Structure 1
Amino acid sequence: MSAGCKASPVEMSVPALCRGLVRIVACCVLPMAAVATAADAPPPLQQQIVALEHQGDGQPREAAQALDRLLNSTAPFSPERLELLTVRGILLNMASEPEAADQVAQLLEDWSRTPAGNAAASAAMLVRARGLALRGNLKKADTLINEALLKLPAGPSPRMRLRYVLTQARIKDDSGKLEDAVRIYHEALTLADQVGEPWQRAEVRSSLAYVYMEAKQPDRARRLNAEALEIAMQAQDFTALGRVHNTQGILLDDAGDREGERREMQMAVDAARKAGARNDETLYLANLGDFYLKSGQFKTALTLSEEALPLARELKDVGIETVALANIGFAHISMKNFELGKKYVEDAIAIDERRGSIPGVSQTLSELGTYLERAGDLPGAVKAYHRHRQLSDEILQRGQQKAIVEMQERFDAERRTRDLELLNRENTLKTEQLRQRDLQQRLWWLLAATFVLSFVVLLVLYRRVRQSNQALESSNYQLLVQSERDPLTGLANRRHFQAAMKQLAADGKLAGTVFLIDIDHFKRINDRHGHNAGDTVLVEMARRLRDTLREHDLIVRWGGEEFLVIVRALGSDQVEALARRMLGAMAGSPVRHEDSDIAVTGSIGFATFPIEPTLLPVSWERAINLVDTAMYLAKAHGRNRAYGVRLLHARDESKLDDITRSLEAAWREGQVALTLLQGPSPTSEAVA
């Protein structure tokens, strides 16, 4: 699996989240002199709870049992008992004992009629939210932790609030809500520094570093994880060290440092074994299996993943189970055991679907397509890529909806401001009119002048209101234009495309030539030169496409490194000539970024609709699916080339869908005629 799909201890369900509460050995809490002189004297109860919470991060079952033995040492309905039960419920969930955790939550709910009722009810919600997240119900867990924070009485200790905030942040991260996760993790970071426990300070930083990596901010991620490593090493906390090394391995994977990734992952396994943290050890074994999988050592990857799977199921950790299942599937596929491999991957996808993790499903499908393509199962790869694209569209649509809501909020705010100004002006006018009426009664000879003055005021106000409305219309138009443009490349985005389709396909059927273009090996460019270089390549490719096409042709930033072009229907010679020009424009000269020359090529799928010879009317969605499949053929057969669908024998849309799903087979059977265009040899990549 890729770095984006690799499991972090804090990314995995809230169990994994729960692993953010780490071990503090009781002897580290007590001064050494006190241990030597009063070995039999137990530490204060609060310190014992904190020490067991720390221990429970790596050994949750044993720590939960020790907390149970301390229960009688606390007074009924006391703050100490509330904290003890809260921590014990958390640890029981981590130990995969949901029934016992629910019993603790029920005990807390039974306090609702006591003076500490709100605090206990809130703690019960926290325990239940962690259990729900552990069992994969992220949506309900998110709702419950939000309610728990609202119910939490004002002024809790930083340590108690930290438990809630960490839970909320990790659920947001698991649900793919990265912006919310970053914001809430920063609050957790402040709280952890207030609490002052090294293990919490280290692990919150490592967790936030992982989210920054997911949000494509690698520099911030590396700085935060370096801070976490320094804190964990000073404390010699092996649980925290394991998690920091695991996150560092994921960061190095994202940066393309393969040897560094392997080293950090092995260090994470070793640290977890020293800490006796079986959950973490299982996770790191799964991640190490992922490394060997991407390194082409499929048998080693399969062995490690098969070792991790039963441990994950024994621990009832669905996050680790998902990683292990997917990696077993990818290893089998890479060794040509296609059906068995697909079964394991589908099992992993089913778990993410039950958890409501759409980004996780989408990422797994993308990787499935990649592994099937490499192993030679092209039809299977195309099917996986289509499923991935559908989910990517859904995620993108959510982002567009959010942007539209934000734009509407700005519009409403501007309208309210202008309405308020108009109301103030109207009030001024009313005051003036009352004053004039009073003057009229006393000074009749000023009536004419008052009338003229009122007329002038009304005229001025009318002109100002008209100018305000014109400015508002201009502002709304600018907002609309901005919402339909990709901020990086300046090209149209999918929202503009959907609006354009209402004109280009007014009857629901597309008439025109469609090209779908994908930059080859774009991830390799990011890995080798950094994400800023990737942005430079995207901007330059957008410029070259604009220079190649006419002003009225539609060019859309379709996805991460994909561009969609729609032109009026062209003859076959013109279509092929345009495809050649676009291939040449992309590969003609390297893209300059800082001191590097980056060679770039692209793969293209294209077709003109309606397609000869049947001239079947086709919706724009089906048209794009067809050229999308043609583009994947171009990538699968060597890249830097274009495949065009010239003829397609389909008399209804059902037959068209069948051909689209198995385009290469239909080509061999004569149901489809394809045109292959080879791109020019790219300029060799060089570093100045």
Structure 2
Amino acid sequence: MRPLHRAWTLRHAGVLATLLLAGLPTRAQHEPHWSAWVQEGYEAPERVLARLAALRPPAGADDWRRHWWRTRGVVAAAGHVEAAADEALAELRGWSGPQASLARADARLVEAVRAEREGRVQDVEAAASDAEQAYAAVCAPAQLPGCDLPTWWRLLRLRALRAESQGLWIEARSLQLRAAEVADQAGDLYLQAWSLAAAAVASQRLGESDLAREQLASAQRLAVRDDRPETGVRVLLNRARVEERRGDPAAALRALDQALDTLRSHEMPRLRALVQANRADLLGRSGRSREAVASIEQALPVVRRFDDRRLDPLLQFNLGLAHLALGQVKPGQAELGAAVAQWERQGAQGALREALRQGGDALHAVGEHAQALAWLHRERRLTEAQDDANRDAALRELRQRRDQEAEHLDLDRLRAENLLATARLESQQWLRRVQWLIGGSLLAMAAMLGLLVVRLRGGQGPEPGARRAPWWSRWTRRRDPLTGLPHRRQLLAQALQQAQSPAGLRGSLVMVDIDHWARLSERLGAAAAPAVLAGMASRLRDAVRDADRLCRWSDSSFLVLLDETAPEALDQLAQRLLAAIGDTPIAHAGDHLAVTASVGVVAFPLEGEPAPVDWERALARVELAVYAARADGRDRAVRLIKLTARGDEERALLSHEFAQARQRGLVHWIGLERQSGETAAKLSTKLA
């Protein structure tokens, strides 16, 4: 082809392609960024609804139409545009044909969003839970047709908000962390940062300050990478909640002031009202009541324009506190009572509990002692109910974690067996080649190998007809492949055998848990962390006695089973274990990392523990001892010496509500601090 002809052809081919593409719907027409429109619609619902109405769906695009109706319904429900929300609900509920089940789930999402705005807590959970199950089915483990990850994220967030509003912090954190994982899969930094920051609030409420800091730091890193101002504001809002819970209201106010500065150049009235509501709460607690009133008066019109009944009682309650502080008792009482009544109708048990506590203190300060006492009694009853619910949630989480660990162990076993099977197959193929090449020489070699095996077995051959697995197979089944320690199944079998005897478990359990292992392993990296853990195991193996049974129990914990041992010997063992981990830093990449451990020790029978003691109770008690060591600052050991719990309720507190068990004096222990070298153990009796 001549150059001129080729140029003419290419030019006209380009024109033809342009004409053809012009006749096709663009990606923007077919696949709008539905999640971004939901976020924009939170602040400007009418504008987004108008833009949605201008869209024209492609022919035969049922999936597109479902996304469109879901987005319209969510924006309208969140923005208090009731007619549009009702229209979307009717369309989604009556959906027929493909993806009808997901359309019904979308309708439940719209119902949950409306219920959340109206403060109907129980309705949020009922609707969001149903819809979340439907999306989980098409989004995990693989993303099937119909999956929309941001929608799944919203359902998890709604469920987490419901749990948080009822004071169920363990459940709330679990849901927020799942939401963060879903946002990560979706590649949405805004949603991921928001969920991680909210999880940090739950961690702080559970008393896990270090974990809360780590989660906030992760959220902040994501916010820096994202260019949307609302990402940073969401992180700052949750940072303020964490700082306030830590007892640093000044740091919390700084975070909220920074959030307001960020919003000054952006038209986000609802997010600004949320910041002002939280700021008013802190100003009131800091004695700056007039500033609190001014902040509330700025936020209240926006909140009521969108009929946000979740924020309305918070603003009304803080206004009541401010009026009480300014000496305006009657208006303050009325506003507090109205806010408490709203939270009670909504079923927001967590907010109600905090309001009764704060309001009771404020009423007492202005001389309204009878009402203050009545609120105190209500707050105590609510606290007991929430503690029961948190205990149940902790038990469910513990069971789920143990099930997951068991699955991981089974997978490790299957991998090891697969490797062994592959090795045996390759060995057989090699032997066949050798047999083909050297013939009769193989018989002599087999005889020599047979003599060697007999020698290795100490001269004891197998019984006639018996078949034994190769020694390396038996070793792998009995040993943890990473540390070389006996497998936990070995220790568990011995412990269960003892526990099933009429006398129950008699002996001692010692658990060693590496402090801050998740953070340490992240710093070490995936390649180095297993080697370091194996080194820790070697140190522990040198510290225990020959008769003690040591195994790796979980990712970062080790368990020792001992026969009946004198208390002094147990304390000495605990000191050796602490020193084995903490005395020598880990050398890594030219640096030396300090590593410590929390050690729990329990001897059975334990005073105050009903006999016989089964394995589950024994394990729960040694975990309690580890928790006590962590609560006292880590890098130490705790040996339980006595329980004073009476009845099932108090015994349940020992397993799931350590702080309350400690306050009630249900557990007594001996604390041991790590002493370097041969220094004698420093003992201090602890009563908790």
State TM-score, norm by structure 2.
0.54
Does residue 52 (structure 1) correspond to residue 52 (structure 2)? The answer is no
Residue 14 of structure 1 aligns with which residue? none
Alignment of 1:370-409 (within 5 A): 370-399=361-390
Residue 273 of structure 2 aligns with which residue? 282
Give the C-alpha shift of residue 212 in structure 1.
Answer: 2.2
Give the C-alpha shift of residue 342 in structure 1.
Answer: 1.7
Give the C-alpha shift of residue 347 in structure 1.
Answer: 1.2
Q: What residue ranges of structure 2 are gaps of 5+ in the alignment?
A: 1-21, 139-143, 402-496, 506-609, 645-653, 667-672, 676-688
Cα distance in 1, alignment partners of residues 316 and 90 from structure 2: 34
Alignment of 1:98-109 (within 5 A): 98-109=82-93
Residue 215 of structure 1 aligns with which residue? 206
Does residue 316 (structure 1) correspond to residue 291 (structure 2)? The answer is no
Alignment of 1:141-180 (within 5 A): 141-152=124-135, 154=138, 155=144, 156-180=147-171
Alignment of 1:175-214 (within 5 A): 175-214=166-205
Preserved contact between residue 86 and residue 127 of structure 1 (Cα < 8 Å): yes
Preserved contact between residue 203 and residue 228 of structure 1 (Cα < 8 Å): yes
Cα distance in 2, alignment partners of residues 242 and 248 from structure 1: 10
Give the C-alpha shift of residue 336 in structure 1.
Answer: 2.5
1:17-67 CA distance string (max 9 Å, x none):
xxxxxxxxxxxxxxxxxxxxx9x9883532443442342243333223322
Cα distance in 2, alignment partners of residues 327 and 239 from structure 1: 25
C-alpha change, 1:563 and 1:260, in structure 2 (3 Å) is closer
1:548-589 CA distance string (max 9 Å, x none):
xxxxxxxx99985995699xxxxxxxxxxxxxxxxxxxxxxx
Give the C-alpha shift of residue 146 in structure 1.
Answer: 1.9
Give the one of 71, 74, 81 matched to 1:90: 74
Preserved contact between residue 321 and residue 332 of structure 2 (Cα < 8 Å): yes
Give the C-alpha shift of residue 321 in structure 1.
Answer: 0.8
SS in 2 for 1:115: coil
Residue 68 of structure 1 aligns with which residue? 53
Alignment of 1:15-54 (within 5 A): 43-54=28-39
Cα distance in 2, alignment partners of residues 67 and 290 from structure 1: 38
Residue 219 of structure 2 aligns with which residue? 228
Cα distance in 2, alignment partners of residues 335 and 325 from structure 1: 15
Residue 114 of structure 2 aligns with which residue? 131
Preserved contact between residue 38 and residue 74 of structure 2 (Cα < 8 Å): no
Which structure has more relative contact order (CA 8 Å, sep 6+)? It is: 1
Cα distance in 1, alignment partners of residues 245 and 342 from structure 2: 25
Deviates more, 1:84-93 or 1:227-236: 227-236
Residue 435 of structure 1 aligns with which residue? none
Alignment of 1:629-640 (within 5 A): none
Cα distance in 1, alignment partners of residues 126 and 245 from structure 2: 32
Cα distance in 2, alignment partners of residues 338 and 181 from structure 1: 36
Give the C-alpha shift of residue 349 in structure 1.
Answer: 1.1
Alignment of 1:405-444 (within 5 A): none
C-alpha change, 1:191 and 1:315, in structure 2 (3 Å) is same
Residue 488 of structure 2 aligns with which residue? none
1:236-267 CA distance string (max 9 Å, x none):
31122221121122222223333322221122
Letter of the 1:201 counterpart: Q
Give the C-alpha shift of residue 340 in structure 1.
Answer: 1.9
Preserved contact between residue 502 and residue 612 of structure 2 (Cα < 8 Å): no
C-alpha change, 1:395 and 1:194, in structure 2 (3 Å) is closer
Give the one of 345, 349, 353 matched to 1:354: 345
C-alpha change, 1:87 and 1:138, in structure 2 (3 Å) is same
Letter of the 1:145 counterpart: A
SS in 1 for 2:311: helix
Residue 526 of structure 2 aligns with which residue? none
Q: What residue ranges of structure 1 are gaps of 5+ in the alignment?
A: 1-37, 411-463, 492-530, 547-555, 567-591, 595-688
Give the C-alpha shift of residue 379 in structure 1.
Answer: 3.7
Cα distance in 2, alignment partners of residues 402 and 161 from structure 1: 22
Give the C-alpha shift of residue 283 in structure 1.
Answer: 1.3
Preserved contact between residue 116 and residue 310 of structure 2 (Cα < 8 Å): no
Cα distance in 2, alignment partners of residues 400 and 157 from structure 1: 33
Preserved contact between residue 202 and residue 227 of structure 1 (Cα < 8 Å): yes
Give the C-alpha shift of residue 282 in structure 1.
Answer: 1.0
C-alpha change, 1:245 and 1:199, in structure 2 (3 Å) is same
Give the C-alpha shift of residue 284 in structure 1.
Answer: 1.0
SS in 2 for 1:276: coil
Give the C-alpha shift of residue 486 in structure 1.
Answer: 12
Deviates more, 1:82-91 or 1:473-482: 473-482
Residue 442 of structure 1 aligns with which residue? none
1:207-243 CA distance string (max 9 Å, x none):
2222223333232223222332333233331122221
Cα distance in 1, alignment partners of residues 223 and 121 from structure 2: 30
Alignment of 1:619-658 (within 5 A): none
C-alpha change, 1:245 and 1:148, in structure 2 (3 Å) is same
C-alpha change, 1:560 and 1:75, in structure 2 (3 Å) is farther
SS in 1 for 2:125: helix
C-alpha change, 1:276 and 1:482, in structure 2 (3 Å) is same
C-alpha change, 1:559 and 1:83, in structure 2 (3 Å) is same
Preserved contact between residue 269 and residue 284 of structure 1 (Cα < 8 Å): yes
1:644-665 CA distance string (max 9 Å, x none):
xxxxxxxxxxxxxxxxxxxxxx
Does residue 140 (structure 1) correspond to residue 113 (structure 2)? The answer is no
Preserved contact between residue 49 and residue 67 of structure 1 (Cα < 8 Å): no
> Identity rate of aligned residues, in percent?
21
Preserved contact between residue 181 and residue 192 of structure 2 (Cα < 8 Å): no
Preserved contact between residue 624 and residue 658 of structure 2 (Cα < 8 Å): no
Give the C-alpha shift of residue 483 in structure 1.
Answer: 9.1
Does residue 340 (structure 1) correspond to residue 331 (structure 2)? The answer is yes
Cα distance in 2, alignment partners of residues 364 and 466 from structure 1: 47
State TM-score, norm by structure 1.
0.54
Cα distance in 2, alignment partners of residues 339 and 489 from structure 1: 51
Preserved contact between residue 205 and residue 245 of structure 2 (Cα < 8 Å): no
C-alpha change, 1:279 and 1:117, in structure 2 (3 Å) is same
C-alpha change, 1:466 and 1:485, in structure 2 (3 Å) is closer
Residue 81 of structure 1 aligns with which residue? 65
